[in-house]
Structure 1
């Protein structure tokens, strides 16, 4: 009988470990923002699907990207995001055509800067967006061969929804949806960013921070 005790003890320990692992893997925390029923449409589930998720460098926050927004979540508060950034809200009126040409299924990535103070993500027309979490300012920039020349300064771009547009603005109807920035990267310690536009890779010295 005594010879069976060590094996029984080992079996009990393994059962406890197995039970602990089951609790760890099968009791997830669900981060979800309740949807306003009045805003629900045929496209709601599609545009709310998460295409990318990133932990902040500090480990305190999670950033998610869906079709129209970037959201920042506090790990201690799963019932709603603490920050929501509109990436290209002007496309809401274009969801039907974006569904027909399959663009609505594009998967955009998002990225933090080294200090978690600025968020970057891509859009259409080779545009990419930056959001400063401290100042709440945002900017739209364009990746193009003209802007990739040595010492070239990226100029902010604006998308005009309707009516008269200024010289530096582009109409939402003129956006090229075949040109899209799905992949972005930010150097972990330097103020350098990389964006992939179709078959081109652009590297810029960022001036937002």
Structure 2
């Protein structure tokens, strides 16, 4: 069984520390090579972490063991360091619809790297922005070491050795060699130091194309287009065109009272630029080929779990909603996460998933309580490794669940995400009031301002939840967010 170990933490909270709502992390993503990690928060900020250049992938051979043999070298996990941060989105107000638009970062996606510059897409509820991050060589001027009791302009005159030297006669050429040597000894060996500084600039803003909250952005394998999806529509953009997009999926009915499901996640195929998949609140996965028609919401292939077609209840319909969808690198398998389970699908099998992994099955008898305090509407991310054989998702009490395909261990591995395993988990990271989402309002399931006093009847801590995580594209390294902290675990 794979053993997972703590690797790094950024911004760990101390016990009892108060976390502001704007500092809670809301999105994260590794770039294609795994050299950079982008993290967004509810305050509209984006932080970039880069892989430490001096870190070797392999440890050197250690000393001989008792049996006289050398130890096998172990692969060392990549180490990351802080690079830069910038303000991506600001709070806005739509005066036509009287709607406040939060600055919270919903999704982050890396674009193709060009000319040593990084490109990043960030999205809040209504607007998508393309950012360029470029490292520049900057000369940093160093100050001279002078006497602290005098100013830099008068330092030479204030030195007694220099003052005493003025009483001596100057040589014929008017230049004193003794003074020249003393000045050279006082000046630093170099006045400037060249350092790398990351500068960020907004290249394009893609706005005014979504009437509902954006829940997905995904780059196409052609390197030129990307999609953006909200509760009812999916649009395709060209990265070079900011004021025009093509609507390929529209699920909005003529009468909103006839609305039965909404879009929850969408993603392009990893290497076929004409294929994409999107999930719905009813637990369906629709596979789309853009070559068949301009509007792709009818000519689709639907994947659904035939084993869950039993008696329908209020809670069974809510927990069937898919909160996240990820394509495997082989392009054939899809990983989805709903409230209770993690499912692996084969796109050639439409009737049932290949495997189903239970995340927090002990909460199933508590669904009425979870509905009362709105925890049942929490949306958890999922991720998988490069070979598509290991999967991960989060749970309550800051738990990370990791599963492996074909091992026979359906329970997987559970990790409590914290640096010190002996320290008690903190529960001060309260979330901001839940926004009114169309996916909840359309079915009449949304409740607001519920009291969490009944939480003591549930064994896990509903306030501490691991919602967002990302798997390194080349190594067994998982980055996950807890409150305002980024934790990394390696295997």
Aligned equivalent of 1:141, options 401, 415, 432? 415
How much is the aligned-residue C-alpha RMSD, in angstroms? 2.4
Matched, 1:201 2:486: yes
Q: Does 1:30 align with 2:302?
A: yes
Alpha-carbon distance in 2 for matches of 1:21, 1:61: 24
Residue 384 of structure 2 corresponds to 112
DSSP-derived class of the 1:175 partner: coil
Deviation beyond 6 Å, 4+ runs, structure 1? none
Quote the residue 1:180 is aligned against.
Answer: 465
* 84-93 or 22-31: bigger deviation: 22-31
1:121 maps to 2:406 = no
Q: CA deviation at 1:113?
A: 1.0
Corresponding residue to 2:369 among 97, 117, 120: 97
5 Å-filtered alignment, 1:56-67, equals 56-67=328-339
CA separation of 1:19/1:36 partners in 2, compared to 1, >3 Å: closer, same or farther?
A: closer
**Aligned ranges 1:140-159 → 2 under 5 Å:** 140-147=414-421
Contact 1:70–1:86 (CA<8 Å) still a contact in 2?
yes
Of 7, 13, 21, 2:293 maps to: 21
Q: Is the 8 A contact 1:90 1:172 kept in 2?
A: no
Please give the alpha-carbon distance, in whole angstroms, between the structure 1 residues aligned to 2:309 and 2:367: 18
Between Structure 1 and Structure 2, the one with more helix by share is 1
Deviation at 1:50, TM superposition (A): 0.3
In 2: Cα distance, 1:106 partner to 1:201 partner = 19
Counterparts of 2:318 and 2:337 in 1: how far apart (Å)? 12
2:70 corresponds to: none
The separation in 1 between residues aligned to 2:309 and 2:298, in whole angstroms, is 29
Give the corresponding residue for 2:356.
Answer: 84
Cα distance change, pair 20–30 in 1 and its aligned pair in 2 (3 A): closer
Could you tell me how far apart the structure 2 residues matched to 1:101 and 1:47 are?
15
Structure with more strand by fraction: 2
Q: Kindly tell me the number of residue pairs found equivalent between the two proteins.
A: 167
- Contact kept? 2:380, 2:467, Cα under 8 Å: yes
Q: CA deviation at 1:23?
A: 7.5
- Tell me how far apart the structure 1 counterparts of residues 457 and 330 of structure 2 sit (CA, whole Å): 37
One of 466, 474, 482 as aligned partner of 1:189: 474
Summarize the Cα distance change of 1:172–1:131 in structure 2 as closer, same or farther, 3 Å threshold: farther
Deviations 1:76-120 (A, max 9, x none): 111111111111111101111111111100000110012111000
Residues 27 and 101 of structure 1, relative CA distance in 2, 3 Å threshold: same
Structure 1 counterpart SS, 2:468:
strand
Residue pair 1:148, 1:202 contacting (<8 A) in 2 also: no
Query: CA shift at 1:200, angstroms?
Result: 1.3
- 3-state SS of the aligned residue for 2:303? coil
1-side partners of 2:468 and 2:407: how far apart? 25
Deviations 1:34-66 (A, max 9, x none): 33424x322011000000001001111011110
* 1:187-208 deviation line (CA, Å, top 9, x unaligned): 0101211011122110122x3x
Among 314, 318, 325, the alignment partner of 1:42 is 314
Matches of 1:37 and 1:118 in 2, distance apart? 29
Specify every segment of 5 or more residues in structure 2 that has no aligned partner in the other structure, as ranges.
Answer: 1-289, 424-455
User: d(CA) in 1 for partners of 2:297 and 2:459?
Assistant: 47
- The residue that corresponds to 2:403 in the other structure is 131
Cα 1:20–1:49 shift into 2, 3 Å: closer
Alignment partners' CA distance in 2, 1:129 and 1:83: 15
Which consecutive unaligned segments of at least 5 residues does structure 1 have?
1-17, 150-170
